[in-house]
Amino acid sequence: MATLRRLREAPRHLLVCEKSNFGNHKSRHRHLVQTHYYNYRVSFLIPECGILSEELKNLVMNAGPYYFVNNLPLHELITPEFISTFIKKGKLILSLDKDTYEETGLQGHPSQFSGRKIMKFIVSIDLMELSLNLDSKKYERISWSFKEKKPLKFDFLLAWHKTGSEESTMMSYFSKYQIQEHQPKVALSTLRDLQCPVLQSSELEGTPEVSCRALELFDWLGAVFSNVDLNNEPNNFISTYCCPEPSTVVAKAYLCTITGFILPEKICLLLEHLCHYFDEPKLAPWVTLSVQGFADSPVSWEKNEHGFRKGGEHLYNFVIFNNQDYWLQMAVGANDHCPP
């Protein structure tokens, strides 16, 4: 029984793979990027490439800024001034333990991954609806909860996508708090003599001795991004992993990793540029764009509840082929819905 219990407690992982074409009017690539809000790391790998184009390099270097605000009272995020300045639409979603939830006095619902003993609750507040009803009892109750009954304070990472010529900025708006502006960290490197899997855009499951499976590529990318030695030497006691077969060796591959708080709008620009990478003939048969979400984000995609105590991963990867076909791989860990 003890062994069975441990097996049940082992983290589960979900990986969804699909293929489409960027020219297909039913393609949902933009929607998937735009609704994955909390992005921590973005990486792209371009085989047979030794240097980035100026346009792509500019996109990489302009992935920020984002802001860190220390000890910010939660009630600041429901003020009419904050909503009118920064919010066009959206919800404030709180993931609270049982004691904190009860102390707030707010209406929410149990986490869908609570089990028999409910220890976690989700509170969702529609900010636009709230701002249109400032005289309502609902607004009064939420404001009273955040200011008096349970005055919560947190350290926040904030990012804002400007849609026009707004003059207000995060730095000036939160000037009475400890706020710092940050730029994402960028790591650029050229990988030499890299052994890469052979892929066929039409074959997610691969073909024996002809092409590799999408799952094999996913594992291989993780190893490349983690700088794992892929030669499978017998005296390597850290990793025996090697590139799946069939494979080919490319003389150069360009790897770029951006780490920070990266907005979906910035990732959409990167994806669009990589989609046009093959407008001119290239030696590379494919390129990849991988995005990882924050482990402790309250959601993964859209309003899908996300858990992190048994993993925390939620990520996606595009494999972009030279014929405009693409593979989309989406992965989540324990306490998550299946990717959309």
User: pLDDT tens digits for 79-131?
Assistant: 999 999 999 899 999 999 999 999 999 999 998 887 788 889 999 999 999 99
Q: Output the pLDDT for position 50.
A: 86
Sign of torsion over alpha carbons 150, 155, 161, 163: positive
For 278-283, which contacts have Cβ atoms below 8 Å and span 24 or more sequence positions? 278/320, 278/321, 278/322, 278/323, 278/324, 282/48, 282/49, 282/322, 283/47, 283/48
Residue spans of the chain under pLDDT 50: 1-4, 7
Contacts of 322 (CB under 8 A, 6+ apart): 278, 282, 284, 285, 286
Give residue-wise pLDDT tens across range 174-192.
999 999 999 999 999 999 9
Pairing of strands 91-97, 120-126: antiparallel
Q: Output the pLDDT for position 240.
A: 75
Q: What CA–CA distance (Å, rounded) separates 47 from 210? A: 19
* Nearest alpha-carbon partner for 287 in 299, 297, 298, 278: 278
Q: Output the pLDDT for position 5.
A: 54
Q: Output the pLDDT for position 154.
A: 95
Q: Output the pLDDT for position 7.
A: 47
Q: What CA–CA distance (Å, rounded) separates 326 from 21? A: 6
Q: Output the pLDDT for position 340.
A: 84
Give the CA distances from residue 160 to residues 35, 65, 137, 153, 239, in Å, rounded to whole numbers and listed in that order. 15, 8, 30, 20, 41
Backbone angles phi, psi at 103, to 5 degrees: -70, -30
Q: What CA–CA distance (Å, rounded) separates 144 from 105? A: 10
